[in-house]
Amino acid sequence: MNTVYIGLGGNVGNRLAYLQRAQEAIAGTVGNIILASSLYETKAWGVENQPDFLNQVIAVTTPLSAHEVFSCLMAIEMKLGRVRSEKWGMRTIDLDLLLFNSDIIETEALSVPHPRLPLRRFVLVPLAEVAPGYIHPLTGKTIAKLLEECADSLDVLPFTLPCPQ
């Protein structure tokens, strides 16, 4: 059985509903969700003039290969209305394969660990919540250490649901 860490994010429509639907689809196609971080809200990264993102990281156990997981994630994005028209643009859902066991995979279609993982607080904060001691296979540093050293100054704020009126 393989352990995979997946980053979830979105900033279009009902962000929470899209994250929940993505988790349901992942559980139905990829494997068993064993850990889920809290939800975090962040300003957009890269292209800033867009709505705030809701982000989360989950850990999943799966019998699938990294390439099979990646294919499932791309299919789930399409099913949930993801349109790839602008790099770092608005999206209903974004599913990133962050880590796969301690594997290093470099193909035309897939890079694992995710190449920008050490540079982005919106990924490192939720990942450090669920896997602070995980050793990044390329840097040899823990996720907690990568977060501590991350130069990204983007605020990553805990997201709380509004109270019903």
Rg (CA), the chain: 15
Residue 8: CB atoms within 10 A of its CB come to 26
Q: Which of 18, 8, 36 minimizes the C-alpha distance to 122?
A: 8
How far, in Å, CA of 116 to CA of 111, rounded?
Answer: 10
Amino acid found at 68: E
Instruction: Exactly one of 15, 91, 120, 121 is catalytic; name it.
Output: 91
Question: Assign residue 48 a region: left if phi > 0, alpha if psi is -120 to 50, beta otherwise?
Answer: alpha
121 is a catalytic site residue: no
The SS3 assignment for 98 reads strand
91 is a catalytic site residue: yes
94 is a catalytic site residue: yes
Instruction: Exactly one of 21, 52, 96, 152 is catalytic; name it.
Output: 96
How far, in Å, CA of 107 to CA of 126, rounded?
Answer: 26
116 is a catalytic site residue: no
How far, in Å, CA of 1 to CA of 26, rounded?
Answer: 16
Most distant CA pair in the chain, distance: 51
Instruction: Exactly one of 15, 82, 120, 121 is catalytic; name it.
Output: 82
Instruction: Exactly one of 94, 116, 120, 152 is catalytic; name it.
Output: 94
Residues assigned a catalytic role:
82, 91, 94, 96
